[in-house]
Amino acid sequence: MRAAPIPSQLGTAPSRFRDHVEAGQLTIAVDASTRDVIPYWRLAAYDADQVSFVKSKGRATLLAVAVYHRQFSPDFPVPYSVGLIELDEGVQIISLLDSSEAPYRPGERLSASCVDGLLVCRRASG
């Protein structure tokens, strides 16, 4: 995979990704010309016309987890967990973890989906 250029200004691709999340769709960003998967943290280097979005299968592996005990927003009552996950498509992303299923351990299989405009992961069933 080629590294994306460092942007001199933010591209328009992140807003398209956000539109997908708000519509309840978890998508993978792909460079329209090379078909390389674009890591989410590099998406700001791209304009929307340079990116294709492919629907993710929503299967993932938990790589690391952090539990927050300090409330930074009324939208996230404590304690809540955030995980570094790797989607089966190979992309790593940070996600809120379903607090009703805590505690989590690295290596667990997860199901990722978009709920109320947020990416949320829970333990995979079956």
Q: What is the pLDDT of residues 99-118, one digit of tens each?
A: 888 899 999 999 998 888 88
Q: Which residues contact 9 (CB under 8 A, 6 or more apart)?
A: none
Pick the closest to residue 125 from 110, 105, 107 (CA basis): 110
> pLDDT category, 9, cuts 50, 70, 90?
low
Residue found under tokens 């590099």: 42
CA angle 68, 117, 37 (to 5 degrees): 90
| Reported pTM | 0.78
Length of the chain: 126
- The pLDDT confidence band at residue 1, using thresholds 50, 70 and 90, is very low
Sign of the CA dihedral 27, 33, 35, 36?
A: negative
Q: What is the pLDDT of residue 10?
A: 66
pLDDT at 78 > cutoff 50: yes
Which pLDDT band, with edges at 50, 70 and 90, does 7 fall under? very low
